[in-house]
A and B are shown apart, each in its own frame.
Chain A
Amino acid sequence: MSTEVEVQEGDLAEMVEQVWQAYLDPEGINPLIPTYDENQASEVHSSVSISGSWSGHVVYASSMTAARRAAAAFLAMEPEEVSHEDLSDVLGELANIVGGNVKAMLPSGAFLSLPQVVLAPASATRYPNAERIAGIYGLWDGEPVSFSMWQSRSDNKEENA
């Protein structure tokens, strides 16, 4: 029997909205505006993997400008002051927060990896035998940002059979 995916796109959207409320747009003036464009461009990305009761990946991707802006918001500094280290720490944390929230909705026995950060477009990383099952794609102050969930096919091979 395949593992039921208990996290729907609406759940992912809610988690992302919470991140905006808490850290990226606490005043509610700059929300992530949905584009539903799963092919939108990116320049950096980060991910965490989940294994166990469900196997897959949670991926953040955005333009460099959006990443700098996110780092500046997280660290309460100006985007020009953001260092390379700040950037990768914040990108890792974005994937970790949403990945952790996803994990909390999965059946027990799921394990979360430490985050991985890649300063290259999201298309530079492949997730073998995994397919995208949900994604939130939008523009944040005109810059592309996305969160997506990829499920390993070993979990859903019956659906693909």
Chain B
Amino acid sequence: MKILIADDSRVMRQIVVRTLRQAGFGDHDLVEAADGKQALEMTKSETPDLVISDWNMPELTGIEVLRELRAGGNNVKFGFVTSECTPEMMQQAESAGSLFFIVKPFSAERFDEVFAPILG
């Protein structure tokens, strides 16, 4: 499977990649986007099976990316890894079609719990 990791923080993309490996998902094809606009473009051009996105990013926020994708008929599996987590955000994410919401800081166990059912 191909997984797109969208986060404006290079450090956080690296930590997400490392945590995916620790949780046993390192064999998947991992690609990275450094802001919301790039995430939107790469989701279209790279056609990943899963998008793991930050919320607060320059250009487009994660929720804007998700909404644009869904408005364009793209149903890629999409969810958030973010340091912010309010009930409103979770509700917005869910109603926009998000599959998961992981709060930073996170553990490999949390990744396993969320991604095992998605990635098999």
Contacts and interface: CB of A to CB of B under 8 A. Distances in A.
Interface in B1-27: 8-12, 14-15, 18
B84 A104 contact: yes
A100 B11 contact: no
A110 B104 CA distance: 18
Interface residues of A, number: 27
Contacts, number: 58
A112 B56 contact: yes
Interface of B: 8-12, 14-15, 18, 56, 58, 82-88, 103-107
B105 A112 contact: no
B105 A19 contact: yes
B80 to A, nearest CB: 11
Given A89-B11, A90-B11, A114-B58, 16 more contacts: A22-B107, A89-B10, A92-B9, A96-B9, A96-B83, A97-B83, A97-B104, A99-B83, A100-B82, A100-B83, A100-B84, A100-B104, A101-B84, A103-B84, A103-B86, A104-B85
A100 B9 contact: no
B84 A93 contact: no
Interface string A97-125: 11111011000101010100000000000
Given A89-B10, A114-B8, A74 B88 contact: no
